[in-house]
Amino acid sequence: MFSKIISPKVTKDTKDTKVTKDTKVETNMKKTSNNAIPSIIGSDVTIVGNVSSQGVMQLEGKIEGDININHLTVGNDGWVEGSIVADEAIIKGKVVGTIKARKVVLEKSAKVHGDIQHEIISIEEGAVIEGSFNSTKKSVAEVSKLNVN
């Protein structure tokens, strides 16, 4: 008649955290260098205003404002209406605004309406992008000029 509920094992290290059994939260986030816990913005949350963090954030809700962060993952249901400045940005949801990041990953469910400035970029088949790309790496012509002299 009664059964014991077994909760999933939780460890201090959040890398490759996978929580199952009645929950849909699944992340591949790493702790920041100062051991800060990653921030998760749920699908029922809307933030109006700018967000700044030196840590890691998983966005499943909506942010209407600019984001300046170390590592950002915009989940499938996540939505950003504003610019993103990050070291690493993984986009699965929707972004309306510019993205400026050292590393940008656009997964197949990503929808981006805005320009992307990047050093490293990965785009999965199926991602929808309306905007221009600008690599921050030196162009081949610039590198050739440097080697000639």
In a domain, 127, yes or no: yes
Say what the pTM is.
Answer: 0.71
In a domain, 51, yes or no: yes
Tokens of 74: 């915009």
22-32 pLDDT per residue, tens: 333 444 445 54
Question: Are the C-beta atoms of 63 and 80 separated by less than 8 Å?
Answer: yes
User: Which residues form the domain of 90?
Assistant: 39-148
In a domain, 81, yes or no: yes
In a domain, 60, yes or no: yes
Number of domains in the chain: 1
2-57 pLDDT per residue, tens: 444 444 444 444 444 443 333 334 444 455 455 678 899 999 999 999 999 999 99
In a domain, 90, yes or no: yes
What length is written for the chain?
149
**E strand intervals along 39-83:** 39-41, 46-48, 51-52, 56-59, 62-64, 67-74, 79-81
In a domain, 87, yes or no: yes
